Every structure is written in C-alpha cells, then in structure tokens.
Structure 1
Amino acid sequence: MLEYQAAKDLLKGKTILVTGAGDGIGRAAALAYAEHGATVILLGKTVSKLESVYDEIEQAGYPTPAIVPLDLKGATEQHYIDMAETIEQQFGHLDGLLHNASLLGVLGPFEHISIDSVKEVMQVNLIAEIIMTKALLPVLKKAPLASLIFTSSSVGRQGRAFWGEYAISKFATEGMMQSIAHEYQGTNLRANSINPGATRTKMRANAYPAENPQTLKTPEELMPTYLYLMGDDSKDITGQQLNAQ
C-alpha cells in the first residue's frame, strides 16, 4: 500500500470533502485527489490558504473545486447541517470525507493540563468531527461507494508521556472510526483511519522544534495511502488502522 500506484482516473467523477485543506497534509491530499479526477471541497478556517489551493487546482486543469470557509472551533451543528444540504443540492451525494484538521494542544505533564486547552482540542479533533460526520452521513450513503477517513496518530494508538490532550482526542477518534465501520459494515460506506507518521508539517515543527524537518517525509510522499483509501480499490477495507509510512 505504501507503494500503491493510483490510476490517473482513480477518483474521476467523485466529490470529496477535505478538512484542513489549506496547508500540510490536507493541501497535499486535496491536490492529489483533484489530480486523480475528483471535485474537491476545500474546508478550512483561513480563506486565503483555501483560495491558494483552489487556484493551484484550477491552474493545473483539474476539476473545479469548491471552498467552504469554516472554523471548527466555533461552528454550530446548524452550520454542518446547512453544509450537508448544500453539498447534496449541488452534487447529489458525497463520495469521500477526509477528516484532516486537528489541533495539537499543549504538550506537558498531565497534572499541568489546562482544561480550556483540552476543551479546544476536543472541540476541533473530536466534537466537530462527530457533528460533521453525523450531518454528512446521509449524503455519503447516497454515493455508490463512500469512503470516510479519519486522521489518527501513533499517540492515538499507544499513549505517550506529555501528549495527554492530543493522545486522548486521537484515541477517541479511533473509537469513532471503529464504531462507524462496524455500524455500516456490509454497506456502501467504509471508515478507516490513517496515522501519517512523522511528516514535514507546521504541527510537527511545533511539537519537535529542534528536529531537522529535512529528515522527515513530505505530505506529498504520504499520498499513496490517502489515494488508496479514498479510491474504489479499497472498497472492501473498513475498520482498519493504516499507517502512511
């Protein structure tokens, strides 16, 4: 799978929503999905970044994307309901959803955890994902084959000292993925998680400021796994915890 070679038209005719699409892994995934034929819905909080990705997709001659400016920290359930209705009206269904947006929170001893920071991390990494997924499930179920991808972490599968806030949010993400995968087993909807691993992103730099980023893989180098799970070649894979490295 790490060496997966996606067919050029793997995602032709599909509509895929990517959260945190303005930079990092989300940007790379949006570009990769568009390159392989998908109409990508770019969701993020910074409009200028989304517009930059939009322009890059347009200039490359890929299918025209759409932009949804949304701050996951402040969005209400009604925002997600309205978004789902708009997607259904414009596209008829949704073929894929990549939950990529996440907050790192504060790294440090558990006894020093700030409850305000925990609430913020859980809002973006968990609550927003729950509400968005709930709103979009009816639109995903209308697709011939739909793929739901959650972004996990190594610390969401094995806890680590000083990573409490982030680790707990990602353990919860894994639980959500498994619950949905089990609930929809045998249907047109599959759910899986990806652990990107150490990647050259801003979040990684914040977590490991002394690390040489040139020693890390770029987001673009992780795309075989992201393409595999989003395309129909993985139609029988559900409830799995995959690694992109």
Structure 2
Amino acid sequence: MTERPLADRIALVTGATRGIGAATTLALARAGAHVVAVGRTEGALEEVDDAVRAAGGSATLVPLDVTDYDAIDRLGAALYQRYGRLDVFVGNAGILGPVTPLGHVDPKDFDQAVSVNLTANYRFVRSLDPLLRLSTAGRAVFVTSGAAHKARAYWGPYTVTKAALEALGRTWAAETVTGNLKVNLFNPGPIRTRMRAKAFPGEDPMALEVPEAAAGAILSLCLPSCATTGKYYDFPTRTLLDFHGPA
C-alpha cells in the first residue's frame, strides 16, 4: 500500500465525533482523503479536526443530526456542487437504544433507534448513491454489530435495527455489483467506546481493543484496491465472510 492511498479522494464519515467514527476519520485523513466529518456536536467535531490537522490531513466539519433527513439531502447536493463526486462513505452513526424487554420499550425510543440506525442510513444511500457512482472507485462501509445475529434478550431495538441495516447494505451491494461502487459491512465486536461502556458497565475497558484498531480495518475496505463487495468483515476474527441464506 502506498503512503497516501486515498490522496485526492473525498470521504464522508457519520458519527465522527468520538469512538470508531473519530478514529476512522483520522485514519482516512492520514491516508490522504479529505474527510467530511458528520456529527451532532460542533465542539467535538472541532476536536477531531484538530487531530486531523495535527496529522497533516484536512476535513470539512458538518454539524448535523442524522435524523434531519432534509439536511442529508442538502449535504448530498452541496457535495455534488463542490466536488462532483464522493469516493468513500462510512455509515457509523448509531445508538444503543433502551436495554429492556420488548414489551417495556417506549414507542418513541423504538422509533428513535429505527430513525438513527436504519432510516438515516437509507437517506444517506438515497443522497450519496449518485455521487459514489461517479467515483472511479466508490467505497461504502456500514458499521453493524454481532448483536444483529444473536437476538440477545432485552436488546430488541438495537438488534432489530442492526439486522435491518445489514439487509440494507447487502441490497445496495447487490444493486451495484457490476459497477465501481463496493459496499460492505463491518462488525467491530467489543471495542473501547462510550456505547460499549453503557451496554456493559461492569466490563473492564482496558481488556478491549481500541477504536483505532477497528478504524485501520475499516480503512482497508475504503481503499481503491479493495475489490470485495457485499461482504461482512468480522473484526474480532479478522475474517471477511460471505452471507448465505437458508437452504
């Protein structure tokens, strides 16, 4: 791999203010990409920008709540006007939602999990698909979770929305299989993040992998040299998996 394999490339990362999103933003910038960093908190975005600049990279900060779907549409239009394309999209923004029996989940909390974890990603697909198809090597990665396959008790909103996100990503990959756009899923597994600490408050965070390690693997799926699509990268086992439906 060359020193800056993403030189002159434009990348967009959601949930860029902390954890895996912030680490991925920095990894992409170090690889040469100009990163459009999307996050809810302007102050946190500025901290990420400081790290990017310190590493010799560049970023455009976009304070945006991913449930503001009209703003996603405006962002897509602005990217087209400014760059005429998009080369990398990392759909990382997500929320845990309530950890409680399904019958106890407040409808507003369930709807919020659907809005952030699923619908927002669909709206980004809708807005960014034309831009990514204009790239000579468009790459899209959705950050999912092993919870999507385990149906863990009390994790209903998170499990359901991540499972649906995987179906969204695989469908998009199938629709773009003959073009320059490659779409893959990434399962980070246990990572030292704020969300993980909220989900497992008794866990020793020092026993977990750091976000920077996951970001390095996500970066590999964003490179022009990555030829795989419709795959599931399981970071805990460092394995790229195919999906197989029922016999």
Partner of 1:9: 4
What is the root-mean-square deviation of aligned Cα atoms in Å? Answer: 1.1
Moved over 3 A (4+): none
Partner Cα separation in structure 2 for residue 244 and residue 28 of structure 1: 15
1:52-95 CA-to-partner distances (Å, cap 9, x unmatched) read 11121112222x2101110123x03x322211111111122100
Q: Which of these residues, 88, 108, 121, is aligned with residue 80 of structure 2?
A: 88
Q: Which runs of 5+ in 1 are unaligned?
A: 1-5
Q: Give me the TM-score of the superposition, normalised by structure 2.
A: 0.93
> Which amino acid in structure 2 is aligned with residue 138 of structure 1?
P
Q: Which of these residues, 199, 204, 209, is aligned with residue 201 of structure 2?
A: 209
Cα contact 2:190–2:208 (8 A) shared by 1:
yes
SS at match of 2:85: coil
SS at match of 1:181: helix
1:82-130 CA-to-partner distances (Å, cap 9, x unmatched) read 1111111112210010000101001122221221110001100011111
1:116-146 CA-to-partner distances (Å, cap 9, x unmatched) read 1100011000111111110111111110010
SS at match of 2:150: coil
Partner Cα separation in structure 2 for residue 24 and residue 111 of structure 1: 31
Alignment of 1:158-177 (within 5 A): 158-177=150-169
Q: Which runs of 5+ in 2 are unaligned?
A: 237-247
Cα contact 2:9–2:33 (8 A) shared by 1:
yes
Cα contact 2:217–2:235 (8 A) shared by 1:
yes
Partner of 1:238: 229
Q: Number of aligned pairs?
A: 236
Partner of 1:65: 59
> Which amino acid in structure 1 is aligned with residue 90 of structure 2?
L
Cα contact 2:173–2:183 (8 A) shared by 1:
yes
Alignment of 1:123-162 (within 5 A): 123-162=115-154
The alpha carbon displacement at 1:157 in A equals: 2.4
Partner of 2:26: 31
Identity of aligned residues (%): 33
Higher relative contact order (CA 8 A, sep 6+): 1
